[in-house]
Amino acid sequence: QVQLVESGGGLVQPGGSLRLSCAASGFTLANYAVGWFRQAPGKEREGVSCMRSGPYYLDSVMGRFTVSRDNAKNTVYLQMDRLKGDDTAVYYCATGPSLCGLRWADSSRYNYWGQGTQVTVSS
């Protein structure tokens, strides 16, 4: 059974850091593109990053967020530094396409989603 489980969210002050994890089971994550998405209250879900090819990043997180993977643990990470209030959202990891491509931020391309983890940036 394909499953993605995110962890690592929480409350952090502006300027702080968090590292999100996306652990996969039931398939080999290294064989697929892994996207990170977020959804803030009242807003549409937006793509934050994608890796296998790329990586790709949302413009507003470029230089602050870094995606990486540990194939031995079948896990992908999203390191988030210099966090801002606008980064507050539920963060999801997702997979499905074999490559990210130019449409990496199109959520309809991803078949499997985690349950999400809340990130709150506030003083």
Q: Mind listing the pLDDT tens digit for each residue in 28-47?
A: 998 999 999 999 999 999 99
Residue 70 host element (H or E): strand 65-70
Q: Which of 5, 9, 24 is nearest to 89 (CA)?
A: 9
Mean of the per-residue pLDDT values of the chain: 95
* pLDDT at 54 (0 to 100): 73
Tens-digit pLDDT profile for residues 63-72: 999 999 999 9
* pLDDT at 85 (0 to 100): 97
